[in-house]
Structure 1
Amino acid sequence: MNVDFDGFLNSQQYSLLENCQRFSSHGKTYFTSNDEAEGFYWNYETDYFRINIHDSFIKKDSFLTMDLRQHKDFLAFSSYFKSANGECLSPYKALRSKSSFIVLNQGQQLRFLLNGQSYFQTVEIDFKESMIEDYLMGQFQLNQGEINRIFTESHKFNAEKLGKIAEEILHYHVSSIGSELFYEIKAKEWLSVIINDYYNHQEGSSTLNAADDLALSNVSSYIDDHYASDIPQELLSKIAMMSKTKLKNTFKLKYKMTMTEYTQRRRMAAAEQLLGSTHLEIKDVAMSVGYQSHSRFSALFKKYTGIYPHEVKRHHNHTGRSKCDKCQQLKKPSQNG
């Protein structure tokens, strides 16, 4: 563990938990409770990659800065946001539940705003140059230019696949020596999803001209901002400057789903965030994301998340971020590594 990382943990008032059984014993679990946040951070690192888990309740709006110059061993950083409400300010990207975030290390500073009174749960896998060289360049014969494009152009619809891997990591508690292979397998699977997603997207985009590709991005952005409204297809056709038929076909070609499914997924991600971070009743959450029918909302929520809304209410509660009885010993991170 490097000094910069320990300094970050100290600055956020994290303490190392001994005997914590919330996450796998292969990594280290930390806990913080301060004016801005309360929750856990788990870290597991090898010569090839690092896995981080954040599981916190954000009490008030908080700004975080990540200086990638302090992480010279890492070529790329990737996250799956199981629950999030905020923004990456530089470069700008909304942080939403069930979304992914991938960035190439170019020595830049990343600035984040996490909104208060919300839950922040992420699984991150950061890849070291050694893994990229041995795995992508060595085994798959990719050149540096291709690798850079993969991590700078990988688009947001790998989130569902990354989410499945993230859930497996979150719930893995086997402590045998051989089980460390699990993390290596999951890191490679995660990386494969990013690579395959990039090439599949390139294949779909290759049949679209630049103007159509931009027009479809405008349509998806409009849906992102107005998902709770009943958006007439005529309006989307005007935004794209396409016929309804062409818009339907090209949208599915680019995003691998229909506009209806895209809208429903966006609504369910927003609903899950509201269910986990507010005291709104389920019927009120349903209405806030565009559904008058409680049963219709519950059925779609189950379809896209695998659980019912009331189960989210039960599992996402503030006391779930408290230390367990096993977490008896606390100590600050060492400054000596």
Structure 2
Amino acid sequence: MREPLQEEALRGAGFVETRPPAGFGELWRSYRCEDGGCTGWFHVFSPGSAPWSISIHDFTMRGDFVMDLTPPRYLTVTWFKSIAGMELSPRRRLRPDSVWGQSIGAGPWEGVAHGGVPVQCVAIEVTPEFSARFLDDEYPDRFRGVERAFISLESFDEFPEMRTLLSRLWPRPGDRERSSLYYEGKVLQAMGLIVERSRHPRVVAGRRRVAPGDRERMRDVLRYIDDHCCADLRIDDLARMACMSPTKFKETFRRLNGRTLTRYVQGRRMSRAELLLRRPELTIGRVARTVGYTSASRFAALFKREVGVLPSEYRERLDV
């Protein structure tokens, strides 16, 4: 297995290779950091000399971390479960529960990830040579703009199919071990989704496009929701912020995010709960109340649906 494409960044942050945790099979390569400035994991799946890899980030930094790297050249599509930060050139905000495409390595990459917020994401990385071979095999003489297709994936986009594919690549304790062929199939599936979305955006989305003005207002509302996800959010109030009727707001929100407002808020709350469960001084009941639930049993059921395990089981695996 070759070195991760992020090797330079891993060394700079103090990660060292170690045994994979529960849920990750022998085919995964895991790194851990506990130097005080950063705590958590980085996992990578890259069999042999394969021209693709799958990486999982799951760590929290104490303070802001500025990245100024010159990595090898590759294309990547990422689903951010949790993140706070900014890509500096071009200037784009990194936000949670978003799908993000990039072309890395054409020059130095600069960005900042904010401390105190978990960096949790799943990414597929492919070399330009792999993408060229994929196009020759699947779209001979019909499509050449794969790099442009990756870059066109914004952090606020209608791509629930990719979000679902990437989120399911994160192994959970108790999952049966997957083969290299399984993961390679998912990489090829992701490539196909990106190309088809670029060639036929309206067909893939399956939904009427959102007007630019509505999209911009919804960006502002979504930022508000992300910042206040544990509060009592009311549709009427959010609709007024977006200058929409409640019915139009609900339809537009689902069109842009691929899920209802309720499911989105629940997902954000559970991401916040994962961070709080790492603090041993907080009881599970206190965590439930902090993220907006008066019923600990209701919180536990929603947490298991989103994360795959009960809060108590999650905490046990953290040794908290």
Give the shorter-chain TM-score range.
Answer: 0.7 to 0.9
- The alpha-carbon deviation at position 317 of structure 1 amounts to 3.2
Measure the CA separation in 1 of the matches of 2:119 and 2:319: 12
Residue 270 of structure 1 aligns with an amino acid whose one-letter code is: R
Is the 1:161–1:193 contact (alpha carbons within 8 Å) kept by the matching residues of 2? no
Question: Which residue does the alignment assign to 2:237?
Answer: 235
Query: Any conservation in 2 of the 1:63–1:112 contact (CA below 8 Å)?
Result: yes
Query: SS state of the match for residue 276, structure 1?
Result: coil
- Aligned residue type for 1:113: A
Aligned to 1:87: 85
| C-alpha distance in 1 between matches for 2:98 and 2:212 | 25
Of stretches 309-318 and 146-155 in structure 1, the one that deviates more from structure 2 is: 146-155
Separation (CA, whole Å) in 2 of partners of 1:276 and 1:36: 16
Partner of 1:328 in structure 2? none
Q: How far apart, CA to CA, are the structure 2 residues paired with 1:10 and 1:65?
A: 12
Counterpart-to-counterpart distance in 2, 1:225 and 1:21: 33
1:127 Cα deviation from its structure 2 partner: 0.9
**2:247 matched to which residue of 1?**
245
Matched, 1:283 2:281: no
- Per-residue CA deviation, residues 162-216 of structure 1 (Å, 9 max, x unaligned), is 1112227996757xxxx43333223223444555677469735643222222222
In 2, Cα distance between the equivalents of 1:283 and 1:138?
A: 54
Q: 1:196 to 1:292 in 2, by over 3 A?
A: farther
Tell me what 1:124 maps to.
123
Please tell me the residue identity of whatever aligns with 2:183.
Y
Aligned residue in 1 for 2:163: 159
Distance 1:3 1:21 in 2: 15
Whole-angstrom distance in 2 between the partners of 1:302 and 1:121: 17
Alpha-carbon distance change, 231 to 130 in structure 1, aligned in 2, over 3 angstroms: same
Please give the secondary structure, in 2, of the residue aligned with 1:214: helix
Provide the secondary structure at the position in 2 that maps to 1:166.
Answer: coil
What does 1:68-79 align with in structure 2 at a 5 Å threshold? Answer: 69-72=70-73, 74=74, 76-79=75-78
Measured in 1, the distance between the counterparts of 2:250 and 2:196 equals 24
CA distance in 1, matches of 2:221, 2:42: 37
Paired position in structure 1 for 2:54: 51
Greater per-residue helix proportion: 1
Q: Would the alpha carbon gap of residues 14 and 210 (structure 1) be closer, same or farther in structure 2, given more than 3 Å must change?
A: closer
- Using the alignment, how far apart are the partners of 1:284 and 1:166 within structure 2? 27
CA distance in 2, matches of 1:205, 1:213: 14
Q: Which amino acid aligns with 1:159?
A: R
The letter of the residue matching 2:168 is K
What's the offset of the Cα at 1:257? 2.1
- What is the CA–CA distance in structure 2 between the aligned matches of 1:222 and 1:77, rounded to whole Å? 28
Aligned length: 305
Amino acid at match of 1:135: F
Aligned to 1:112: 112
CA distance in 2, matches of 1:7, 1:78: 20
Return closer, same or farther for 1:25/1:4 CA change in 2, 3 Å cut-off. closer
The aligned residue for residue 327 of structure 1 is: none
1:36 aligned partner: 37
CA contact (8 A) 2:54 2:122 kept: yes
Q: How does 1:252-331 map to 2 (within 5 A)?
A: 252-276=254-278, 279-317=281-319
Matches within 5 A, 1:135-154: 135-136=134-135, 138-140=137-139, 143-145=143-145, 147-154=147-154
Superposition TM-score, scaled by structure 1 size: 0.72
User: More relative contact order in 1 or in 2 (CA 8 Å, sep 6+)?
Assistant: 1
CA distance in 2, matches of 1:306, 1:2: 30
Task: After TM superposition, list the pairs within 5 Å mapping 1:127-206 onto structure 2.
Answer: 127-136=126-135, 138-140=137-139, 143-145=143-145, 147-154=147-154, 155=157, 157=160, 158-167=162-171, 179-192=179-192, 194=194, 199=201, 203=205, 206=208
The answer as to whether partners of 1:298 and 1:308 remain within 8 angstroms in 2 is: yes
Q: Distance in 2 between matches of 1:264 and 1:15?
A: 34
Give me the whole-angstrom Cα distance separating, in 2, the residues matched to 1:248 and 1:16: 45
Partner amino acid, structure 1, of 2:313:
E
Name the SS for the 2:278 alignment partner.
helix
CA RMSD of aligned residues (A): 3.8
Q: 1:80 to 1:146 in 2, by over 3 A?
A: closer
* Larger CA Rg, structure 1 vs 2: 1
Q: Please say if residues 123 and 166 of structure 2, whose CA atoms lie closer than 8 Å, have aligned partners that are also in contact.
A: no
Letter in 2 for 1:130: E
Residues 52, 123 of structure 1: 8 Å contact kept: yes
Unmatched 5+ stretches in structure 1: 319-337
